[in-house]
Amino acid sequence: MTFRLAGGLLAAALALMLASCQSPTPYSPSLNSTYGYSDEQLGQNRYRVTFVGNSSTSRETVEDYLLLRSAEVTRNAGFRWFVFDTRDTHRQTSYFTTFNPYPWWGAPYGFGWYWHSWAFDGYGYDTFAVTRYEAYAEIVLLTPEDAKKEPRALDAGDVIAHLGPKAVAPEK
């Protein structure tokens, strides 16, 4: 019994230590990695913008970075105003289970992904949820005349002024 408890505590400490080593996704393009922002022009005044965060990046930060990137895309295209046509945030949760096998199964502790039955939680299994967020939107760039007619229109300069200083740049 003590063997399993110590193994569970060791596994929990290891999982927390590994999670604390990861820093939130910085505000940067997702060139060769999974995380960061990307955008694609879909039409003359329409773009798809995406921001993917790692498990240390909060939903609020992911959504703020999507909004900031949308404003930058608008300004870079020579427009001042934009509106979200579609917008959504997806949550992806994976479960990591530590496995403490019985001593006669080989190594004293094993870690890994495998099928898990909640009925056996008292037998040396610890499960941790790891969640990350991905936000995406299609934006429509507006002329000043269109912006006057659209109550949801956002001023790209205002968005950049408010959210830009909060964005965390990547480490060099």
The pLDDT of residue 40: 96
Q: How much of the chain, in percent, has pLDDT values that exceed 70?
A: 72
Can you give the residue range of the structural domain that contains 11? Answer: 2-166
Give the total number of structural domains in the chain: 1
pLDDT in tens, 87-127: 999 999 888 776 655 544 444 444 444 455 555 555 556 77
Reply yes or no on whether the pLDDT at 42 is more than 80. yes
Residue 109 CB contacts under 8 Å (≥ 6 apart), including other chains: 7, 10, 11, 98, 99, 100, 101
Upper half-sphere CA count for residue 2 (Cβ side, 13 Å): 0
Closest listed residue to residue 133, CA positions, set 167, 86, 89, 87: 89
Domain presence at residue 49 = yes
What average pLDDT is seen over the chain?
81
Four-point Cα dihedral 160, 162, 62, 21, nearest 10: 110
Domain presence at residue 107 = yes
Domain presence at residue 172 = no
Domain presence at residue 118 = yes
Residue 11 CB contacts under 8 Å (≥ 6 apart), including other chains: 98, 100, 109, 111, 126
The pLDDT of residue 113: 47
Residue with token string 């921001």: 51
Q: How much of the chain, in percent, has pLDDT values that exceed 90?
A: 60
The pTM of this model reads 0.74
82 token code pair: 């934009």
| DSSP codes, 25-42 | PPSSB-SSSSSEEEEEEE
CA 112 to chain centre: 23
Domain presence at residue 39 = yes
pLDDT in tens, 67-89: 999 999 999 999 999 999 999 99
The pLDDT of residue 96: 76
Domain presence at residue 171 = no
